[in-house]
Amino acid sequence: MDIINAILLGVIQGLTEFLPVSSSGHLEILKAILGEDKVGKESMLMTVVLHFATALSTIIVFRKEIKNILIGLLQFQNNEEFKFSIKIIISMFPAALIGVFFDKEIEALFGGALTLVGCMLIITGILLFLADKSENTKKNIGINESILIGISQAIAILPGISRSGATISTSVLLGIDKEKSARFSFLMVVPLIFGKMGKDIFSGQIIIGDANSLSLLIGFVCAFTTGMIACKWMIKLVKNSKLKYFSYYCFIVGGLVAFVSFL
């Protein structure tokens, strides 16, 4: 993989992991444009590196919240930190179960199915548009809401459905405070990212011998830097009801991708 492709993949992963436009969908589009041969044999390794970069950026941005979550779990007391920790864990189950039991079916969706990507981007746009029109409240996330948000995260495994867009939109449509919705959305995915990384590492499909170390490093730096910026920016955008602009973007890109795929 050359340096330019590594930069493109890193920037796209860093931005789209947090901005509600689907990182998986955009990576599929980029792969279709560049060609699988341009992505390189170390594609799986690069994917792991890029996900680690965005997970690390999330940990740094939310280091105080993550510290409180860990303290809540370790203390095992019936306080707010412990309750919040339980909600995070509950929200992870749907996506984790789908990932474990339907792994092959999910992988089959990531093979240049651009029609699916285009249609799912349009659905993401609809969710964002509806969420943006919702009134802001001060409602907290409960157990039932955690389950529903977790289900939306599981559905977002589909390429083109934005994970952050689906989970934030679900939270807001359930009446949850917009800023809390964004923070919960980003925190709930960190354990899943590390779980997916571990699964990929132990799958035996990662080729390290031929990997370009410089490309991996540049991809990591680009994903980490843009991830930090996008994460902080996204919280402000959700709070200030600016999701509609991303919905327009998803409508345009999704429509173009679906149209081109039919040609």
Say how many C-beta atoms besides its own lie within 10 A of residue 158's C-beta.
22
Report DSSP letters for 93-121, one per residue. HHHHHHHHHSHHHHHHHTTT-HHHHHHHH
Segment 64-92, tens digit of pLDDT: 888 887 887 777 766 777 888 888 889 98
Q: Give the DSSP H/E element, type plus range, for residue 24.
A: helix 23-34
**What gap in Å lies between CA 153 and CA 97, rounded to an integer?**
11
Of 169 and 203, the one with more pLDDT: 169
Position 207 scores a pLDDT of 59
Structural contact between residues 219 and 50, judged by C-beta atoms closer than 8 angstroms: yes
Is residue 176 classed as helix, strand or coil in its secondary structure? strand
Q: Percent of the chain beyond pLDDT 70?
A: 90
**What gap in Å lies between CA 152 and CA 173, rounded to an integer?**
12
Position 119 scores a pLDDT of 93
Of 35 and 178, the one with more pLDDT: 178
**What gap in Å lies between CA 13 and CA 43, rounded to an integer?**
13
Q: Over the range 200-221, which residues count as b (16 or more CB within 10 Å of their CB) and which as e?
A: beeeeebeeeebbeebbebbbe
Segment 205-248, tens digit of pLDDT: 665 655 578 888 999 999 999 999 999 898 888 888 788 899 99
**Domain interval for residue 206:** 3-262
CA-based nearest residue to 191, from 45, 42, 62: 62
**What gap in Å lies between CA 95 and CA 166, rounded to an integer?**
13
**What gap in Å lies between CA 214 and CA 3, rounded to an integer?**
8
Structure tokens at 112: 């240049």
Q: Which amino acid is at 80?
A: E
Q: How many domains does the chain have?
A: 1
Position 169 scores a pLDDT of 93
CA-based nearest residue to 25, from 149, 108, 130, 110: 110
**What gap in Å lies between CA 174 and CA 168, rounded to an integer?**
10
Position 220 scores a pLDDT of 93
Q: What is the mean pLDDT of the chain?
A: 84
Segment 189-201, tens digit of pLDDT: 888 888 877 777 7
Position 247 scores a pLDDT of 94
**What gap in Å lies between CA 169 and CA 147, rounded to an integer?**
14
Phi, psi of 138, rounded to the nearest 5 degrees: -110, 15
